[in-house]
Amino acid sequence: MRRPLRRRAASAAIAALALSGLLLGTAQPAAADADHGRGPALYTPDPNPDALRQIAGLAKQGQYRDAARITAMIATPQAVWFGDQSPAEVEKLARDVVKDADRRDALPVFALYNIPGRDCSNYSAGGAANTAEYQAWIDAVARGIGTRDALVVLEPDALALLPADCGQDDAQGTKTAARYTEVNYAVDHLEPLPGTRVYLDTGHPGWHSVNAIVPRLIKGGVTHASGFYTNASNYLTDDANSWYGKLISSCVAYVRNEDGDVADCPNQWTPRADAQAWIDANVHVPASRMPHFVTDSSRNGRGPWTPPAGKYSDPQDWCNPPDRGLGARPTLRTGDPLQDARLWIKTPGESDGLCLRGTAGPEDPERGTVDPKAGDWFPQQALELARYANPPLFPTD
Protein backbone atom coordinates (compact mmCIF):
# COMPACT_ATOMS: atom_id res chain seq x y z
CA MET A 1 0.00 0.00 0.00
CA ARG A 2 2.90 2.41 0.65
CA ARG A 3 4.35 2.23 -2.84
CA PRO A 4 1.27 3.53 -4.71
CA LEU A 5 0.98 6.36 -2.18
CA ARG A 6 4.61 7.28 -2.78
CA ARG A 7 4.08 7.29 -6.54
CA ARG A 8 0.98 9.47 -6.20
CA ALA A 9 2.85 11.83 -3.89
CA ALA A 10 5.80 12.04 -6.27
CA SER A 11 3.46 12.75 -9.19
CA ALA A 12 1.79 15.50 -7.20
CA ALA A 13 5.19 16.94 -6.30
CA ILE A 14 6.26 17.06 -9.94
CA ALA A 15 2.97 18.64 -10.96
CA ALA A 16 3.30 21.19 -8.17
CA LEU A 17 6.82 22.10 -9.24
CA ALA A 18 5.77 22.55 -12.86
CA LEU A 19 2.73 24.64 -12.00
CA SER A 20 4.54 26.75 -9.46
CA GLY A 21 7.17 27.41 -12.09
CA LEU A 22 4.50 29.19 -14.06
CA LEU A 23 3.34 31.05 -10.98
CA LEU A 24 6.87 32.11 -10.07
CA GLY A 25 7.82 33.07 -13.59
CA THR A 26 10.47 30.38 -13.93
CA ALA A 27 10.36 26.70 -14.81
CA GLN A 28 13.43 25.84 -12.75
CA PRO A 29 14.51 26.33 -9.14
CA ALA A 30 17.74 28.17 -8.41
CA ALA A 31 20.84 26.05 -9.06
CA ALA A 32 21.13 23.34 -6.45
CA ASP A 33 24.55 21.91 -7.33
CA ALA A 34 27.18 24.22 -8.71
CA ASP A 35 29.27 21.23 -9.82
CA HIS A 36 26.80 19.84 -12.34
CA GLY A 37 28.45 19.69 -15.74
CA ARG A 38 31.93 20.26 -14.28
CA GLY A 39 32.93 16.87 -12.98
CA PRO A 40 30.97 14.62 -10.62
CA ALA A 41 27.86 16.09 -9.09
CA LEU A 42 26.86 15.47 -5.50
CA TYR A 43 24.32 12.71 -4.98
CA THR A 44 20.64 13.30 -4.21
CA PRO A 45 19.08 10.42 -2.25
CA ASP A 46 15.45 9.35 -2.22
CA PRO A 47 13.47 11.78 -0.07
CA ASN A 48 11.71 11.12 3.19
CA PRO A 49 8.28 9.70 2.19
CA ASP A 50 6.62 12.19 4.53
CA ALA A 51 8.15 15.01 2.49
CA LEU A 52 6.32 13.69 -0.56
CA ARG A 53 3.11 13.51 1.44
CA GLN A 54 3.56 17.12 2.50
CA ILE A 55 4.12 18.20 -1.10
CA ALA A 56 1.02 16.33 -2.24
CA GLY A 57 -1.03 17.92 0.56
CA LEU A 58 0.18 21.41 -0.30
CA ALA A 59 -0.59 20.90 -3.97
CA LYS A 60 -4.06 19.58 -3.14
CA GLN A 61 -4.71 22.74 -1.12
CA GLY A 62 -3.56 24.92 -4.01
CA GLN A 63 -0.39 26.02 -2.20
CA TYR A 64 1.73 25.46 -5.27
CA ARG A 65 4.46 27.91 -4.35
CA ASP A 66 5.19 26.11 -1.09
CA ALA A 67 4.86 22.71 -2.76
CA ALA A 68 7.46 23.78 -5.29
CA ARG A 69 9.80 25.00 -2.57
CA ILE A 70 9.68 21.71 -0.67
CA THR A 71 10.15 19.86 -3.96
CA ALA A 72 13.24 21.91 -4.77
CA MET A 73 14.56 21.33 -1.25
CA ILE A 74 14.34 17.54 -1.43
CA ALA A 75 15.78 17.58 -4.97
CA THR A 76 18.98 19.17 -3.65
CA PRO A 77 21.99 16.89 -2.96
CA GLN A 78 22.24 15.88 0.69
CA ALA A 79 23.76 13.22 2.89
CA VAL A 80 22.55 9.65 3.24
CA TRP A 81 22.38 8.75 6.93
CA PHE A 82 23.20 5.26 8.17
CA GLY A 83 22.81 4.13 11.77
CA ASP A 84 21.21 1.29 13.74
CA GLN A 85 21.02 -1.08 10.76
CA SER A 86 22.55 -4.52 11.09
CA PRO A 87 25.87 -5.10 9.32
CA ALA A 88 24.09 -7.05 6.56
CA GLU A 89 21.54 -4.27 6.08
CA VAL A 90 24.03 -1.41 6.02
CA GLU A 91 26.33 -3.26 3.62
CA LYS A 92 23.48 -3.70 1.14
CA LEU A 93 22.25 -0.13 1.55
CA ALA A 94 25.72 1.34 1.09
CA ARG A 95 26.33 -0.82 -1.97
CA ASP A 96 22.99 0.19 -3.49
CA VAL A 97 23.73 3.89 -2.98
CA VAL A 98 27.26 3.85 -4.41
CA LYS A 99 26.04 1.87 -7.42
CA ASP A 100 23.19 4.31 -8.01
CA ALA A 101 25.52 7.27 -7.58
CA ASP A 102 28.01 5.72 -9.99
CA ARG A 103 25.29 5.42 -12.62
CA ARG A 104 24.50 9.10 -12.17
CA ASP A 105 28.19 10.13 -12.15
CA ALA A 106 27.56 11.55 -8.67
CA LEU A 107 29.43 11.51 -5.37
CA PRO A 108 27.40 10.20 -2.42
CA VAL A 109 27.86 11.65 1.05
CA PHE A 110 27.40 9.17 3.91
CA ALA A 111 26.74 10.38 7.45
CA LEU A 112 27.64 7.37 9.61
CA TYR A 113 25.86 7.57 12.96
CA ASN A 114 26.17 4.36 14.94
CA ILE A 115 28.86 5.00 17.56
CA PRO A 116 28.21 3.40 21.00
CA GLY A 117 26.73 5.94 23.42
CA ARG A 118 25.58 8.13 20.53
CA ASP A 119 24.37 11.64 21.47
CA CYS A 120 25.08 10.90 25.15
CA SER A 121 21.81 8.90 25.18
CA ASN A 122 19.76 12.04 24.49
CA TYR A 123 17.33 12.73 21.62
CA SER A 124 19.28 10.69 19.08
CA ALA A 125 20.27 7.91 21.45
CA GLY A 126 21.17 4.52 20.04
CA GLY A 127 24.13 3.12 18.18
CA ALA A 128 26.13 -0.06 18.47
CA ALA A 129 26.16 -1.88 21.80
CA ASN A 130 29.96 -2.05 22.10
CA THR A 131 33.23 -1.54 20.28
CA ALA A 132 33.29 -4.99 18.66
CA GLU A 133 29.78 -4.53 17.31
CA TYR A 134 30.69 -1.11 15.97
CA GLN A 135 33.80 -2.40 14.26
CA ALA A 136 31.78 -5.14 12.56
CA TRP A 137 29.34 -2.47 11.38
CA ILE A 138 32.15 -0.32 9.95
CA ASP A 139 33.57 -3.37 8.18
CA ALA A 140 30.16 -3.86 6.56
CA VAL A 141 30.03 -0.23 5.40
CA ALA A 142 33.51 -0.65 3.92
CA ARG A 143 32.43 -3.76 2.03
CA GLY A 144 29.38 -1.93 0.74
CA ILE A 145 31.39 1.02 -0.57
CA GLY A 146 34.11 -1.15 -2.04
CA THR A 147 36.10 0.60 -4.75
CA ARG A 148 33.44 3.18 -5.63
CA ASP A 149 33.58 6.84 -4.60
CA ALA A 150 32.10 8.12 -1.34
CA LEU A 151 32.57 11.01 1.05
CA VAL A 152 32.08 9.96 4.69
CA VAL A 153 31.04 12.35 7.44
CA LEU A 154 32.00 10.17 10.37
CA GLU A 155 29.85 10.11 13.51
CA PRO A 156 28.48 13.58 14.26
CA ASP A 157 29.19 14.57 17.87
CA ALA A 158 31.54 11.61 18.36
CA LEU A 159 34.47 13.85 19.27
CA ALA A 160 32.70 17.05 20.23
CA LEU A 161 30.52 15.17 22.74
CA LEU A 162 32.66 12.49 24.37
CA PRO A 163 31.28 10.21 27.10
CA ALA A 164 33.42 12.16 29.56
CA ASP A 165 31.60 15.36 28.57
CA CYS A 166 28.20 14.15 29.70
CA GLY A 167 28.96 12.18 32.85
CA GLN A 168 28.70 8.77 31.20
CA ASP A 169 32.27 7.65 31.81
CA ASP A 170 33.93 5.97 34.77
CA ALA A 171 36.86 7.32 36.75
CA GLN A 172 39.31 5.53 34.45
CA GLY A 173 37.85 7.10 31.29
CA THR A 174 37.05 3.68 29.83
CA LYS A 175 34.23 4.79 27.54
CA THR A 176 36.10 7.82 26.25
CA ALA A 177 39.14 5.67 25.46
CA ALA A 178 36.82 3.26 23.63
CA ARG A 179 35.37 6.18 21.66
CA TYR A 180 38.81 7.09 20.34
CA THR A 181 39.47 3.44 19.49
CA GLU A 182 36.21 3.28 17.54
CA VAL A 183 36.81 6.50 15.60
CA ASN A 184 40.35 5.46 14.72
CA TYR A 185 39.13 2.06 13.60
CA ALA A 186 36.63 3.67 11.25
CA VAL A 187 39.28 5.99 9.80
CA ASP A 188 41.77 3.14 9.33
CA HIS A 189 39.22 0.93 7.55
CA LEU A 190 37.40 3.51 5.42
CA GLU A 191 40.01 6.09 4.38
CA PRO A 192 42.23 3.50 2.61
CA LEU A 193 39.36 2.50 0.29
CA PRO A 194 40.28 3.67 -3.24
CA GLY A 195 37.51 6.26 -3.65
CA THR A 196 36.62 7.15 -0.05
CA ARG A 197 37.37 10.33 1.88
CA VAL A 198 36.68 10.46 5.64
CA TYR A 199 36.09 13.60 7.71
CA LEU A 200 35.96 13.81 11.53
CA ASP A 201 33.65 15.73 13.85
CA THR A 202 34.46 19.15 15.35
CA GLY A 203 31.01 20.26 16.49
CA HIS A 204 30.70 23.90 15.41
CA PRO A 205 32.49 27.22 16.00
CA GLY A 206 30.07 28.23 18.75
CA TRP A 207 31.01 25.19 20.84
CA HIS A 208 34.63 24.05 21.30
CA SER A 209 37.59 26.39 20.91
CA VAL A 210 40.22 25.51 18.32
CA ASN A 211 42.60 24.73 21.19
CA ALA A 212 40.12 22.27 22.72
CA ILE A 213 39.01 20.41 19.59
CA VAL A 214 42.41 19.98 17.91
CA PRO A 215 43.77 17.50 20.51
CA ARG A 216 40.57 15.46 20.09
CA LEU A 217 40.95 15.44 16.33
CA ILE A 218 44.58 14.35 16.52
CA LYS A 219 43.74 11.62 19.03
CA GLY A 220 40.84 10.57 16.79
CA GLY A 221 43.13 10.04 13.79
CA VAL A 222 42.58 13.19 11.72
CA THR A 223 46.11 12.98 10.33
CA HIS A 224 45.16 9.63 8.75
CA ALA A 225 41.84 10.96 7.39
CA SER A 226 41.06 13.45 4.65
CA GLY A 227 40.15 15.97 7.31
CA PHE A 228 37.24 17.13 9.43
CA TYR A 229 33.81 18.76 9.20
CA THR A 230 31.99 21.48 11.08
CA ASN A 231 28.44 22.68 11.74
CA ALA A 232 26.71 19.35 11.13
CA SER A 233 23.01 19.88 11.92
CA ASN A 234 23.72 23.40 13.20
CA TYR A 235 23.16 26.97 12.06
CA LEU A 236 26.45 28.87 12.13
CA THR A 237 27.19 30.98 9.05
CA ASP A 238 29.38 29.91 6.15
CA ASP A 239 31.89 32.60 7.04
CA ALA A 240 32.15 31.42 10.65
CA ASN A 241 32.52 27.80 9.57
CA SER A 242 35.15 28.45 6.91
CA TRP A 243 37.24 30.54 9.29
CA TYR A 244 36.94 27.92 12.04
CA GLY A 245 38.03 25.28 9.54
CA LYS A 246 41.07 27.28 8.49
CA LEU A 247 42.09 27.84 12.11
CA ILE A 248 41.72 24.15 12.99
CA SER A 249 43.62 23.01 9.92
CA SER A 250 46.41 25.50 10.64
CA CYS A 251 46.62 24.43 14.28
CA VAL A 252 46.79 20.71 13.41
CA ALA A 253 49.57 21.48 10.92
CA TYR A 254 51.42 23.56 13.51
CA VAL A 255 51.23 20.83 16.14
CA ARG A 256 52.06 17.93 13.81
CA ASN A 257 54.53 19.49 11.36
CA GLU A 258 56.07 22.36 13.33
CA ASP A 259 56.20 20.49 16.68
CA GLY A 260 54.16 23.29 18.20
CA ASP A 261 52.00 23.55 21.30
CA VAL A 262 48.24 23.64 20.71
CA ALA A 263 47.95 26.34 23.38
CA ASP A 264 49.81 28.71 21.04
CA CYS A 265 47.17 28.46 18.30
CA PRO A 266 44.72 31.31 17.80
CA ASN A 267 41.07 30.37 18.11
CA GLN A 268 37.81 31.58 16.62
CA TRP A 269 37.58 34.45 19.14
CA THR A 270 41.05 35.82 18.36
CA PRO A 271 40.89 38.99 16.22
CA ARG A 272 41.14 37.79 12.64
CA ALA A 273 44.03 40.01 11.64
CA ASP A 274 46.04 38.72 14.61
CA ALA A 275 45.13 35.11 13.86
CA GLN A 276 46.07 35.45 10.20
CA ALA A 277 49.39 37.03 11.12
CA TRP A 278 50.08 34.08 13.45
CA ILE A 279 49.27 31.59 10.68
CA ASP A 280 51.53 33.40 8.23
CA ALA A 281 54.39 33.36 10.73
CA ASN A 282 54.02 29.83 12.07
CA VAL A 283 52.48 27.48 9.50
CA HIS A 284 54.89 26.67 6.68
CA VAL A 285 53.36 23.62 5.03
CA PRO A 286 51.33 23.73 1.79
CA ALA A 287 47.57 23.23 1.82
CA SER A 288 48.05 19.78 0.30
CA ARG A 289 49.75 18.64 3.52
CA MET A 290 47.18 20.15 5.86
CA PRO A 291 43.90 18.49 6.87
CA HIS A 292 41.04 19.67 4.70
CA PHE A 293 37.47 20.24 5.81
CA VAL A 294 33.84 20.28 4.72
CA THR A 295 30.97 22.29 6.18
CA ASP A 296 27.20 21.90 6.57
CA SER A 297 25.07 24.68 5.06
CA SER A 298 21.76 22.83 5.14
CA ARG A 299 20.06 25.16 7.62
CA ASN A 300 22.30 28.19 8.09
CA GLY A 301 20.78 30.60 5.56
CA ARG A 302 19.65 32.97 8.32
CA GLY A 303 22.38 32.08 10.79
CA PRO A 304 21.80 30.90 14.35
CA TRP A 305 18.68 31.65 16.36
CA THR A 306 18.96 34.13 19.24
CA PRO A 307 16.57 33.01 21.98
CA PRO A 308 14.53 35.66 23.82
CA ALA A 309 16.65 36.97 26.68
CA GLY A 310 15.79 35.39 30.02
CA LYS A 311 12.78 33.47 28.71
CA TYR A 312 14.09 29.90 29.03
CA SER A 313 16.33 28.16 31.53
CA ASP A 314 17.69 26.01 28.67
CA PRO A 315 16.88 27.65 25.31
CA GLN A 316 18.23 24.72 23.25
CA ASP A 317 19.15 27.06 20.40
CA TRP A 318 20.25 24.02 18.36
CA CYS A 319 16.89 22.25 18.63
CA ASN A 320 14.31 23.06 15.94
CA PRO A 321 14.85 26.82 16.26
CA PRO A 322 12.11 28.87 14.61
CA ASP A 323 12.28 30.79 11.35
CA ARG A 324 15.59 29.42 10.05
CA GLY A 325 16.32 28.99 6.35
CA LEU A 326 18.16 26.68 3.99
CA GLY A 327 21.70 27.80 3.29
CA ALA A 328 23.91 27.91 0.21
CA ARG A 329 23.58 24.96 -2.12
CA PRO A 330 26.04 22.08 -1.83
CA THR A 331 29.15 22.19 -3.98
CA LEU A 332 32.55 20.57 -4.45
CA ARG A 333 33.97 23.83 -5.79
CA THR A 334 34.41 26.15 -2.82
CA GLY A 335 37.31 28.28 -4.09
CA ASP A 336 39.20 27.53 -0.85
CA PRO A 337 42.19 25.16 -1.12
CA LEU A 338 41.43 23.78 2.36
CA GLN A 339 37.65 23.42 2.02
CA ASP A 340 36.78 20.36 -0.06
CA ALA A 341 33.01 20.85 -0.07
CA ARG A 342 30.01 22.66 1.26
CA LEU A 343 27.34 20.05 1.96
CA TRP A 344 23.85 19.55 3.24
CA ILE A 345 24.75 17.05 5.96
CA LYS A 346 21.62 17.37 8.06
CA THR A 347 18.50 16.34 6.14
CA PRO A 348 16.54 19.62 6.10
CA GLY A 349 12.97 19.12 7.24
CA GLU A 350 13.76 16.34 9.71
CA SER A 351 13.27 17.18 13.38
CA ASP A 352 16.03 17.61 15.95
CA GLY A 353 13.83 16.08 18.65
CA LEU A 354 11.35 17.00 21.37
CA CYS A 355 12.48 20.52 22.24
CA LEU A 356 11.20 21.67 25.67
CA ARG A 357 13.67 24.54 26.32
CA GLY A 358 13.71 23.92 30.05
CA THR A 359 9.93 23.82 30.42
CA ALA A 360 7.73 20.94 31.55
CA GLY A 361 6.37 20.47 28.02
CA PRO A 362 5.16 18.49 26.23
CA GLU A 363 4.90 21.35 23.72
CA ASP A 364 7.83 23.25 22.29
CA PRO A 365 7.08 26.67 23.81
CA GLU A 366 8.49 28.48 20.76
CA ARG A 367 6.10 26.63 18.45
CA GLY A 368 3.13 25.68 20.58
CA THR A 369 3.27 22.13 19.23
CA VAL A 370 4.84 18.84 20.24
CA ASP A 371 7.89 18.54 17.99
CA PRO A 372 8.37 15.22 16.17
CA LYS A 373 11.03 12.92 17.55
CA ALA A 374 14.56 13.22 16.16
CA GLY A 375 14.76 12.18 12.52
CA ASP A 376 11.02 12.37 11.80
CA TRP A 377 9.69 14.77 9.20
CA PHE A 378 8.64 18.15 10.64
CA PRO A 379 6.33 19.88 8.13
CA GLN A 380 6.26 23.21 9.97
CA GLN A 381 10.05 23.44 10.09
CA ALA A 382 10.38 22.20 6.50
CA LEU A 383 8.18 25.06 5.29
CA GLU A 384 10.19 27.59 7.26
CA LEU A 385 13.47 26.34 5.86
CA ALA A 386 12.16 26.42 2.30
CA ARG A 387 10.44 29.81 2.59
CA TYR A 388 13.40 31.53 4.26
CA ALA A 389 16.13 29.93 2.15
CA ASN A 390 19.12 32.18 1.58
CA PRO A 391 19.87 32.19 -1.29
CA PRO A 392 16.23 31.59 -2.21
CA LEU A 393 15.16 28.37 -3.86
CA PHE A 394 13.57 30.28 -6.74
CA PRO A 395 14.89 33.51 -8.27
CA THR A 396 11.53 35.21 -7.78
CA ASP A 397 11.25 34.43 -4.05
Extract the runs of DSSP E, i.e. beta strands, from the chain.
41-42, 80-82, 106-107, 109-112, 150-154, 196-201, 227-230, 292-296, 339-343
Report the pLDDT averaged over residues 16-30.
49
Tell me whether residue 166 is in a domain: yes
Distance of alpha carbon 13 from alpha carbon 19, whole angstroms: 10
Which region holds residue 312: left if phi is over 0, alpha if psi is between -120 and 50, else beta?
A: beta
- Calculate the CA 154 to chain-centre distance: 10
Q: Is residue 311 part of a domain?
A: yes
CATH number at residue 275: 3.20.20.40
Cα separation, 382 vs 376, whole angstroms: 11
Phi-psi region of 391 (alpha: psi -120 to 50; beta: other; left: phi over 0): beta
395: in domain: no
The predicted model gives 31-42 an average pLDDT of 57
Q: Does the residue 27 lie in any domain? A: no
Domain that holds residue 115: 77-387
What local confidence, expressed as pLDDT, does residue 74 receive?
Answer: 98
What phi and psi values does residue 221 have, to the nearest 5 degrees? Answer: 100, 25
Res. 206: pLDDT tops 90: yes
* pLDDT tens column, 42-99: 999 999 999 999 999 999 999 999 999 999 999 999 999 999 999 999 999 999 999 9
The residue type found at 282 is N
Average pLDDT, the chain: 91
Query: Is 317 among the residues known to form the active site?
Result: no
pLDDT for 318 = 95
Does residue 304 carry a pLDDT above 70? yes
pLDDT recorded at residue 182 = 98
pLDDT, residue 123, reads: 67
Q: Residue 186 in contact with residue 138, Cβ under 8 Å?
A: yes
Record the pTM.
0.92
Contact call for residues 149 and 40 (beta carbons, < 8 A): yes
Residue 352 designated active-site: yes
Tally of domains within the chain: 1
Provide the sign of the torsion angle of the four alpha carbons 21, 26, 30, 31, taken in this order.
positive
Among residues 156, 168, 137, the alpha carbon closest in space to that of 234 is found at 156
Q: Which of 35, 66, 149, 157 is catalytic?
A: 157
Is 265 within 8 Å of 251 (Cβ atoms)? yes
Is it the case that residue 14 has pLDDT exceeding 80? no
Catalytic-residue membership of 201: no
**What tens digit of pLDDT does each residue of 342-379 get?**
999 999 999 999 999 999 999 999 999 999 999 999 99
Lowest-confidence range among 5-9, 183-187, 251-255, 294-298? 5-9
pLDDT above 60: residue 214: yes
- For a pLDDT cut of 90, what percent of the chain falls above it? 86
For residue 131, what are the CA distances in angstroms to 92, 135, 144?
A: 22, 6, 20
Residue 263 lies in a domain: yes
Choose, from 33, 35, 119, 371, the residue flagged as catalytic: 119
Residue in 17, 35, 9 with CA at minimum distance from that of residue 342 = 35
DSSP 360-374: S-SSBTTTTB-PPPT
In a domain, 4, yes or no: no
Q: Please answer whether residues 244 and 189 qualify as being in contact, where contact means their C-beta atoms are separated by less than 8 angstroms.
A: no
Residue 39 lies in a domain: no
pLDDT at 187: 98
pLDDT tens by residue, 108-157: 999 999 999 998 867 677 899 999 999 999 999 999 999 999 999 999 99
Is 345 a member of any domain?
yes
The CB-side HSE value for 234 (13 A sphere, CA atoms) comes to 23
Catalytic residue among 66, 149, 201, 352, which?
Answer: 352
Per-residue model confidence (pLDDT) at position 126: 83
Q: Taking residues 219-241, what's their average pLDDT?
A: 98
